[in-house]
């Protein structure tokens, strides 16, 4: 019996490729070349499934050119690279990898908050340049983390994980804004209080963004929102590029409108707004919030399991849409 063919669009763990090869004919990309839209469309020919990352756009044009496609499994919790309505209309299942990265990403988010508030990157650059010649009472004096107010925009699994770290570990007052309010039990577990978005921006000492990307959440934080924040406040984005207007943020940082920012995601990444490279009061990381070996392995295995389960049994583990069988 001929095995079904799938595409693995980017380099992944060899163990996961071996796991997939036991079920499918696998075309892999271990050279890790980022495929153009046209090349991706061509490589999808004859494939019934694909394992993708956030860099591969699955849209109507690709789907129209590949009517045999049945499932695309994203190795990420975010899926703004998927046109889910177009996939549903084409009868193609979309899956992601929630839960397995929650705690790792929450760890990183809180770490990025601390690095931002305490000016760790800025002071390291100073040290590396050989500029440290004496102690001074206010050298790289940053903002308090413990006992301060953390405002979280987006209170899903990761937001809740950050809230628990803040409230239980650092005695922070946690306020949050979300599309829907959490249950009383979850609010109690997180020691979090629901507030309006404007109140959050006005009162938080640190603002953490954990909002999923959509057309509605594009530029959730822009010039207007930045003007509402305290001059001493910090902003941390571990959500998605496009949630923040990076040009407006760079200007706000330059003008000391807010104290500092920590960014793991960017508009148009891997490119980023050049002005962000010219302000000292920002911590920049290349979208690595979920990047530990154990977590990335778990993400890859879950994406692979979604392909195996759906193509062999007709039911994926973490579907994003509902489709009828092809």
In CATH terms, the superfamily for domain 102-284 is NAD(P)-binding Rossmann-like Domain (3.40.50.720)
pTM of the prediction? 0.93
Residues contacting 167, CB < 8 A, separation 6+: 173, 174, 190, 191, 192
Average pLDDT over the chain reads 97
User: What share of the chain in percent tops pLDDT 70?
Assistant: 99
Rounded Cα gap, residues 306 and 271, in angstroms: 31
DSSP state of 140: T
| 107-130 pLDDT per residue, tens | 999 999 999 999 999 999 999 999
| 241-268 pLDDT per residue, tens | 999 999 999 999 999 999 999 999 999 9
pLDDT recorded at residue 284: 98
pLDDT recorded at residue 325: 72
pLDDT band at residue 1 using 50, 70 and 90 as cut-offs: low
Q: What is the mean pLDDT of residues 93-99?
A: 97
Rounded Cα gap, residues 114 and 236, in angstroms: 10
Structural contact between residues 323 and 49, judged by C-beta atoms closer than 8 angstroms: no
Closest residue by Cα to residue 20 from 305, 295, 317: 305
> Cβ–Cβ contacts within 10 Å for residue 37, how many?
12
Rounded Cα gap, residues 215 and 202, in angstroms: 25
| 12-56 pLDDT per residue, tens | 999 999 999 999 999 999 999 999 999 999 999 999 999 999 999
| 5-14 pLDDT per residue, tens | 999 999 999 9
Identify the burial level of 68 via C-beta atoms within 10 angstroms of its C-beta, where 0-12 means exposed, 13-18 middle and 19 or more buried.
middle
What is the CATH code for 5-99+293-313?
3.40.50.720
Separation of first and last alpha carbons in the chain: 19
Cis peptide before 62 (omega within 30 of 0): no
> Within 13 Å, how many C-alpha atoms sit on residue 39's CB side?
9
Residues contacting 124, CB < 8 A, separation 6+: none
- The dihedrals phi and psi of 225, each to the nearest 5 degrees, come to -65, -40
pLDDT recorded at residue 2: 79
Rounded Cα gap, residues 15 and 286, in angstroms: 25
User: What share of the chain in percent tops pLDDT 90?
Assistant: 96
Start-end ranges of CATH 3.40.50.720 in the chain? 5-99+293-313, 102-284
Question: Residue 324: is its pLDDT beyond 90?
Answer: no
Structural contact between residues 243 and 211, judged by C-beta atoms closer than 8 angstroms: yes
Q: What is the mean pLDDT of residues 146-175?
A: 98
Question: Residue 322: is its pLDDT beyond 90?
Answer: yes
Catalytic residue list:
240, 269, 287
Rounded Cα gap, residues 10 and 290, in angstroms: 17
For the sheet with 260-263, list strands across it: 192-194, 173-177, 149-153, 206-209, 234-237, 260-263, 282-284
The helix (H) or strand (E) run that includes residue 170 is: helix 170-170
How far does CA 214 lie from the centroid of its chain?
13
Structural contact between residues 260 and 237, judged by C-beta atoms closer than 8 angstroms: no
Max intra-chain CA distance, the chain: 74
| 182-241 pLDDT per residue, tens | 999 999 999 999 999 999 999 999 999 999 988 899 999 999 999 999 999 999 999 999
pLDDT recorded at residue 234: 98
Strands 173-177 and 192-194: parallel
């Amino acid at each position: 019996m001929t095995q079904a063919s799938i595409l693995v669009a980017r380099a992944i763990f060899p163990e996961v490729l071996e796991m997939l090869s036991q079920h499918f004919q696998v075309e892999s990309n271990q050279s890790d070349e980022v495929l153009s839209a046209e090349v991706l469309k061509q490589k999808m020919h004859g494939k019934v499934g694909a394992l993708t990352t956030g860099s591969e756009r699955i849209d109507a044009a690709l789907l129209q050119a590949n009517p045999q496609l049945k499932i695309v499994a994203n190795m990420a919790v975010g899926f703004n690279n998927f046109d889910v309505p177009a996939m549903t209309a084409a009868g193609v299942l979309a899956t992601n990898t929630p839960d397995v990265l929650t705690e790792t990403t929450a760890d990183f988010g809180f770490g990025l908050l601390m690095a931002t508030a305490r000016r760790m990157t800025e002071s390291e650059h100073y040290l590396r340049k050989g500029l440290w010649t004496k102690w001074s009472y206010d050298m790289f004096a940053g903002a308090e983390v413990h006992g301060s107010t953390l405002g979280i925009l987006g209170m899903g699994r990761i937001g809740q994980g950050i809230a628990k770290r803040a409230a239980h570990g650092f005695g922070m007052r946690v306020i949050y804004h979300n599309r829907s309010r959490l249950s009383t039990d979850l609010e109690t577990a997180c020691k979090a209080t629901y507030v309006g978005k404007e109140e959050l921006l006005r009162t938080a000492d640190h603002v953490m963004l954990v909002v999923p990307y959509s057309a509605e959440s594009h530029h959730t934080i822009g010039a207007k929102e930045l003007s509402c924040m305290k001059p001493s406040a910090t902003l941390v984005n571990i959500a998605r590029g496009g949630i923040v207007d990076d040009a407006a943020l760079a200007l706000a940082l330059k003008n000391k409108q807010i104290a500092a920012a920590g960014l793991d995601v960017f508009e148009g990444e891997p490119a980023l707004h050049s002005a962000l490279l010219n302000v000292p009061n920002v911590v920049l990381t290349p979208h690595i919030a979920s990047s530990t070996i154990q977590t990335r392995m778990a993400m890859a295995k879950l994406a692979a399991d979604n392909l195996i389960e759906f193509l062999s049994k007709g039911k994926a583990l973490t579907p994003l849409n509902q489709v009828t069988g092809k």
